[in-house]
Each structure stands twice: as structure tokens, then as C-alpha cells.
Amino acid sequence: MELLFNKIISLKQISTLSKHEQLVQGIIECIENESLVVGDQLPSINQMVENIGFARKTIVKAYEELKDRGLVESKKIKGYFILSNKTDVVLKVALLLYSFHRFQEEFYNSFRKELGERYQIDIYVHHNNLDAFENIISNIHGKYGAYVVAPIENPLVRPLLETIEPSRLLIIDRYLDLGVHYSYIAQEFEHSTHDRLTEILEIVKKYNKIVLYFRNDADYPIGVLKGFERFVAENGLIGEIEKNYRPDSVQAGVLYFFIDDTDLWELFRDCRKLNLVIGQDVGLLSHNDHIIKEIIAGGIATISTNFNEMAIKAADYVKHGILIHEIIPADFIQRNSL
């Protein structure tokens, strides 16, 4: 460790560097010149105090910054170790999503672009599975400078996330109340669904009935179902809820509301087979927008949150760490399918 100690001591001559910056820069330079390699153990806090003369809290602050950047990891009792030689990374970010559907891919692409190449983003997917969620959180805990998490709507998830320091955690997509010290940028489903459907009531009335495809055993937001049921009841409409679209079940005069895109494409196929014109014979409304829905068959109408906006705001939080509590409402996007 003599080379490391000498490097940090030499940086004391640079008055523009704070003490903790001298420590960080000294370790980074030793990684770059390969005096330190992946797997090497850093001096203990006590050794640093003895050889460098800085306060313990200064050394801890420097080691924690190196952990945030993904260069160092801490192991219980054993100490701090070099984890990576990617010294150009300013922050290592864990992004935990439900899945990698098209709209979540859109979120990631905007998030990645907004942060830039100096941020390392590792993607994890839990598929609305509590065991998978718990295992991921356990495996990544303490290894990242920031955690951007789409939580599962389950009471067991809250205590798992509360193990992460509030300033490092951002809740996205689904809202979860972790208290005022935790940040979130989330969707809202019940009121948004109800209000957007109410806005297009006259369009909905053109159809004999409206059918929502909703599965309780999937990761569908329960708020969509509640908003739909309230809208139908308030307006005296014929509304039905089906678990899945059944092939060859399409009927003229019906408005179909899909959450899952797989069901949506099956209806497209059946309409073509029966020469039913979408937007005239059959109505089609989809949840979550994507560029494909803008293009195909003259466009599919959607009720959707702006995921680009959510991604940009999430990236801003990661870069600046300013506490944020924001619900992004859904918009209705009119297209030829209605």
C-alpha cells in the first residue's frame, strides 16, 4: 500500500482538492496505473488515519463515493476491495423494472440517453414476482450509488426498499408510499383511467358495449380496473371485463380496451380475417403508448403516461439527487382506431 499512501500524500500539495477528493483521486490514479487491481483490498480506515492523517469521516466519505461509482465494494468485517477498473464512471445505477415491454424499453432508452455514457446502468427485471424482487434487492444492496425501482404492489416490498438509504432510491412507474424522505416519479391509474374515458364518453357511446381485458394474476395496475368500473357505472354503459381475448371472438359494434399488447395483435388478426374495419366496425383502445401504435393501421388510440418525460425526470434525479414527489398523469391520444 506504500504506493497508494505516497500518491495521496503527493496530492496534498494541490490546494484546489479537498481532503476527500485527494483520497478519491489517489485511489483512482492507482487503479489506472494498475498499482491497484480488481480484488485488491484497500487500507482499513485505521490504517488510512495512521498513514495519511485525515479524519475517519473523511476517509469513509471517500470510500463511499468510490462505492457509488462502482469502483469499490465493502464486505462485512473484511473491509473495502477494488471492484472495477472503469474509472470513467461517475455513478453506478441499478434500474429495476417490471419487465422489458416496449414502453419500458422506451423509458430505458430515454433514461440512458439523458444520463450519458459516464453513468453505468445495470438493468434488472422482476416480472412482478416477489421472490425475484427480494433476491434482486438482496444481491444489489450496497453495490450502487443510485437505485431506480419499479416496485411490486405488495406490502412485503416496503420493508425491503426501506433498507436502501432514502437519498439513493427513486421509485418509478407504480406509486409506493415510503414516506416524505423517499423520492418518486410515478403513474396514477384509477383517476387517470376514469377521467380520460370520461373525456371520450361520446365516442364510447358509439359502440354497443366496451370490453376491458384485465388479468388479476398479471402485473396489471388495479387502478385501471377501478377507474373503468366507475366510468361504466356512472354513465350507465354496458361494460364487461374479460381475462383474455379469445381468438375469433371479435364482434362488430364493440369497443375493446387492451392492457396487454399480445391480446391486441390477436384482435387485429381476427379483424383482418373477418374484414372488420378498426375504427368503424370495431373500436380499439390500448394502454401504454409506443411508436408502433402510432403507425400501425392508421394509429391505435391510447391512454398512456409519457414515459419519455418520466425517464428524463428520473435521470435528473440521479444526476442531482434533489428530492422529488411527482405523479405523472396519463393522457388520451386520439387515433384512427376509435
Compute the CA torsion angle 309, 312, 317, 323 (nearest 10 deg).
-20
- 46's enclosing H/E stretch is helix 45-52
Among 89, 76, 94, CA closest to 24: 89
CA distances for 6 relative to 30, 33, 198, 307, angstroms:
10, 14, 70, 49
Residues of the chain with pLDDT under 50: none
pLDDT of residue 64: 87
Look at the block and give the residue holding cell 423520492.
183
CA quadruple 170, 176, 182, 187: dihedral sign: positive
Rounded (5°) CA angle 287-242-329: 25
Strand partners for 75: 79
pLDDT of residue 300: 95
User: What distance in Å separates the CA atoms of residue 106 and residue 115, rounded to the nearest whole number?
Assistant: 14
Joined together, the cell numbers standing for residue 294 give: 402510432
CA quadruple 121, 127, 128, 130: dihedral sign: negative
The 3-state secondary structure of 281-311 reads CEEEEEECCCHHHHHHHHCCEEEECCHHHHH
112 within 8 A of 124, measured Cβ to Cβ: no
